[in-house]
Amino acid sequence: MTRFATFARLLMLLAILLPLFAIRSAVWSAPVGTAASSREKEQGKSGDAEPKPLRVKPRATRTTKSAKGEASKGEETPRSASRPRRAAPAESQVSRAQEAAAAGRYDEARDLLASVDAARLSEEKADDAAYLGAVLTVEGVKQGEAFAAYLKEFPKGHHRRESTLALARLHYVQGDYAESDRLLAIFSPGIEHDTIGREGLVLRGLAQLARGDAPGALQFFASCEKDLKGSAQEEAYYFAMSQASLRSAKPQAAVDALRVLLDRHAQGAYAPQALYAMGMALEQMGRGTDATNVFRQVAQRFPDSYEATRVRDRGIRPGQIVGSGLPIGGGYALQIGAFSRRDLADALARDLRLASVPDVSVRQGSELPPIYRVRGGAFATREEAQALGERLRREKGYSYNVVPH
């Protein structure tokens, strides 16, 4: 009986312990959340008021605070995405101001811009607002200060080139040619392919010319020909080139530039000035009759221009024009060579210029393949053209033909 009683007690003890081991095993093998729930149940049954040792929330909170974790991206994105929405009204107002300015409604643009909260603008829109504010500034000195402030605040801004050109123009108009030239150093020959860059090149050369460096300006303009020839700035370029040539005592170079200008822009904005400059260049070359013809054309074709007043101040009155009346003062020229290769034509043209032949040009024919004709001189009569041709025959051995200019 004693053994049986002992065995019975052991069975009862095992019946009590086995469930406890099962519960303990489940707690250690379960996930964190499950373990926490199991322990909470045990504590609830036991009536123990001890704080819960594990929670899911703290872990979730630690994960969310991690700005670099995947979970945090979902929480941080809405906060950062909300900023543009708050700034949208201010940025929209800048856009409306830009549209008003583009349409010529400058007062409206100023009012819109004045009420913009700059703190709510993105970097790009702040750039636009600062530039537009400078453009809309009326008084010259204050406008210069506004452009200078923009360039200081946005040294790499979207409108840096436009602001630099505008500020350089203001300095040029105010007579500060050295500062204008310094600012315009960002514009370089050979790389400018837009309107701002080309205008910068022309103004840079003019600033050098106004500083008194005519030879330097002439050399600079010559290096800009590929950038400016055939562009919307071509007319201004060739006129500036003629002025640099005249001040460098190179009237023939001035005549060459002015001929191109008048051929392509006969009624352009620079036409009266170009004709008057042509007369000045012809005077420097000792061609007084041709110069008088050109001055008369200024008075006849542009009677209300300032240049026509200057012609009248010279004592020249509209009347019959001697010779052909062409802008360069002659109706005949010499054709001295014709080539199928442009380089050979250019080489002959250089030799003729070295021989002091005036008005040398290379003209490309319309035939295929093209023929490049080298011409020189511009004369009122055939006899004058023949006289030059004979001199070239004697001195250089060139053959020639007299052709209409």
Give the chain's end-to-end CA distance (angstroms, integer): 149
Low-confidence ranges of the chain (pLDDT < 50): 1, 23-87, 321-330
pLDDT at 18: 52
Answer for the pair 214, 248: CB distance below 8 angstroms, yes or no. Answer: yes
Q: Tell whether omega for the bond before 358 is within 30 degrees of 0, i.e. cis.
A: no
Nearest to 180 by CA among 156, 140, 144: 144
pLDDT at 147: 95
Single-letter code of the amino acid located at 55: R
* Rounded (5°) CA angle 298-276-251: 145
Structure tokens at 133: 């504010």
pLDDT at 13: 56
**pTM as predicted:** 0.61
Nearest to 330 by CA among 245, 238, 255: 255
Four-point Cα dihedral 171, 172, 177, 183, nearest 10: 60
pLDDT at 214: 96
pLDDT at 118: 86
What is residue 321's DSSP assignment?
A: P
pLDDT at 7: 54
CB atoms near residue 191 (< 10 Å): 9
CA distance 265 to 262: 5
pLDDT at 16: 56
Task: Please list the residues that pair with 375 across neighbouring strands.
Answer: 335, 361
CA distance 71 to 63: 6
pLDDT at 347: 92
